[in-house]
Amino acid sequence: MIELRTPAQIEQMRPAGRFVADVITALAAKADVGVNLLELDELAHQMIRDRGAESCYIDYHPSFGASPFGKVLCTSVNDAVLHGLPHDYVLEDGDLLSVDFAASVDGWVSDSALSVVVGNARQEDLDLIEVTGRALEAGIAQARPGNRLGDISAAIGDVARGVGLGVNLQFGGHGVGRTMHGDPHVPNDGRPGRGLKLKPGLVIAIEPWFLHTTDEIYTDKDGWTLRSKDGSRGAHMEHTVAITADGPLVLTERAA
C-alpha cells in the first residue's frame, strides 16, 4: 500500500534522515586501508546505541535472504554491489566499498548508501562512482508533483545507458516510512510519463547501482551478498527523498 505523509510527518522524518546521513559520513571517514568491515559495522552499531535509534537490518529476513541479516550495515566490496554482509575482511588498497545503512528514529525510517574507494583509486572506479551519483541526482530532480514514477526511473536509466552501462531491474528504490521497504518499487530504468503519478507526501528511497561490464548478479554463499556474475566492480548510491509541493526534499542529505 502506498502511503502519503503530511507535511508535519515529513518534518518528523527529518531526524532519522539526519542521523542516517551522519552515520554514512562517519563510515566514509572511517573506511581506509587496514580497517576491518566488522569495525565499520560496530561503528554504526555504536552510533545507533548512542542515538537511541533502532536498526532496520539486524533482524531483517525477507524472502531473498537466507537468514536474519544479523548486522546493522551493508558493506559491499569490489564485485559485491548490494546487501554485502559484514564479515572478517580487512580493506585493501584500491578496494571499492559501498556502504548502505537504514535506521529508525522515533518510529520513522531513512535509508542511504554511498560508494568510496579506499587508498589509491582506479580511474574506472572513480568514473563509475561519478556516474552512479549523477544518476541519483537525475532521479531526484524528477521527484516532483505531477511527474510519474517512470520519469524518475527513465532519468536514472538514461544516465547509465549514456555511458554504456547496463541496468539491472531486480533491485531498486522503494517506499520509506514506518518501515524500511514499502510501496512503490522504484526501478532504475523505465519509460517517462508512465506509472504512478507523483504527489506531495510520497517518500521514497532512490538508489541507482551499476556494474562496470554486466547487469547480471548472483547471491554469494553467505546467502545475502549480491555479486556481479563476471567479477566486475559495482557502485551504489541512495538517498531518502520526500516529494513536497516545492519539489524534492532530500532527507538524507550529507553535510558538505
Residue 256 has pLDDT above 80, yes or no: no
| 157 lies in some domain | yes
Q: What is the mean pLDDT of residues 166-186?
A: 97
Q: What is the mean pLDDT of residues 60-65?
A: 87
Q: Terminal CA-to-CA distance of the chain, rounded, Å?
A: 35
pLDDT for the residue 200: 98
Q: What is the mean pLDDT of residues 106-110?
A: 98
The CB density around residue 107, as the number of other CB atoms within 10 Å, is 11
137 annotated to a ligand binding site:
no
| 2 lies in some domain | no
Quote the mean pLDDT of the chain: 97
| 255 lies in some domain | no
Q: Which amino acid is at 180?
A: M
Map grid coordinates 537525475 to a residue. Answer: 138
What is the pLDDT confidence band of residue 62, given thresholds at 50, 70 and 90? confident
Range(s) of the domain holding residue 154:
7-250
User: What is the CATH classification number for the domain harbouring 221?
Assistant: 3.90.230.10
Query: Angle between the 149-162 and 123-141 helix axes, to the nearest 10 degrees?
Result: 160
pLDDT for the residue 66: 84
Q: What is the pLDDT of residues 213-228, one digit of tens each?
A: 999 999 999 999 999 9
111 annotated to a ligand binding site:
yes
What is the pLDDT confidence band of residue 140, given thresholds at 50, 70 and 90? very high
222 annotated to a ligand binding site:
no
pLDDT for the residue 64: 83
What is the number of alpha carbons within 13 Å of residue 141 lying toward its C-beta? 10
174 annotated to a ligand binding site:
yes
* Domains contained in the chain, number: 1
83 annotated to a ligand binding site:
yes
DSSP 68-87: ---SS-EEEETTEEESPPP-
pLDDT for the residue 212: 97
Phi, psi of 133 (to 5 degrees): -65, -40
Q: What is the mean pLDDT of residues 106-120?
A: 98
pLDDT for the residue 63: 85
| 144 lies in some domain | yes
What is the pLDDT confidence band of residue 122, given thresholds at 50, 70 and 90? very high
212 annotated to a ligand binding site:
no
Backbone φ/ψ region at 235: left (φ over 0), alpha (ψ -120 to 50), beta: beta
Residue 255 has pLDDT above 90, yes or no: no
Q: What is the mean pLDDT of residues 180-189?
A: 97
216 annotated to a ligand binding site:
no
| 200 lies in some domain | yes
